[in-house]
């Protein structure tokens, strides 16, 4: 596909046409149109925090941040967007208090101090 055809696809998409409509107008499959749009969108991705352009690698997940510092800053500012599914409500084997454990459903103690007291007795 030439740069001119790619530009035509992107301009028609910008005008609000669907993949099928663009494909019918240009005589190419709708999935090809979709692939072109996806590839061009990936090229223009920017860091969520500082908005610098991102360099994507061929393997692995697409990058969302330009650096580790940007990632940490952004997630601290947006805790509501964290998708945490692995929370477990457990009871401490030493003090009997309820506590939340993230990602570890076989945890027995709410803290290191409770572990030490249960294993070796009170200090």
Q: Clarify whether residues 1 and 39 are in a common domain.
A: yes
Domain that holds residue 101: 87-120
Residues 26, 23: Cα–Cα separation, whole Å: 5
Q: Clarify whether residues 58 and 97 are in a common domain.
A: no
Q: What is the pLDDT of residue 119?
A: 93
Q: Clarify whether residues 2 and 22 are in a common domain.
A: yes
> Which CATH number do you get for residue 34?
1.10.10
Which contiguous run of DSSP H or E holds residue 100?
A: strand 98-102
Q: Clarify whether residues 15 and 28 are in a common domain.
A: yes
Nearest to 50 by CA among 30, 34, 71: 71
pLDDT in tens, 14-66: 899 999 999 999 999 999 999 988 888 777 788 889 988 888 777 888 888 99
Q: Clarify whether residues 56 and 66 are in a common domain.
A: yes
Nearest to 37 by CA among 53, 21, 61: 21
Q: Clarify whether residues 13 and 27 are in a common domain.
A: yes
Q: What is the pLDDT of residue 123?
A: 73
Q: Clarify whether residues 77 and 95 are in a common domain.
A: no
Indicate if the alpha-carbon torsion angle 94, 99, 101, 104 is positive or negative. Answer: positive
Rounded to 5 degrees, what are φ and ψ at 100? -95, 135
Q: Clarify whether residues 3 and 32 are in a common domain.
A: yes
Cα Rg for the chain, rounded, in angstroms? 25
Q: Clarify whether residues 54 and 22 are in a common domain.
A: no
Rounded to 5 degrees, what are φ and ψ at 46? -130, 160
Residues above pLDDT 90, as percent of the chain: 51
Tally of domains in the chain? 3
Half-sphere exposure at residue 89, Cβ-oriented, CA atoms within 13 angstroms = 1
pLDDT in tens, 74-107: 999 988 887 778 889 999 999 999 999 988 889 9
Q: What is the pLDDT of residue 93?
A: 95
């Amino acid at each position: 596909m030439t740069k001119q055809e790619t530009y035509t696809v992107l301009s028609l998409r910008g005008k609000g046409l669907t993949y099928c409509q663009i494909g019918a107008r240009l005589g190419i499959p709708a999935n090809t149109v979709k692939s072109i749009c996806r590839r061009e969108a990936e090229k223009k991705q920017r860091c969520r925090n500082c908005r610098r352009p991102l360099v994507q690698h061929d393997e692995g997940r697409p990058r969302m941040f330009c650096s580790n510092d940007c990632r940490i800053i952004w997630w601290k500012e947006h805790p509501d967007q964290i998708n945490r599914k692995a929370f477990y409500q457990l009871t401490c084997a030493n003090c009997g208090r309820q506590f939340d454990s993230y990602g570890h459903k076989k945890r027995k103690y709410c803290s290191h101090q409770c572990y030490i007291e249960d294993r070796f007795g009170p200090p």
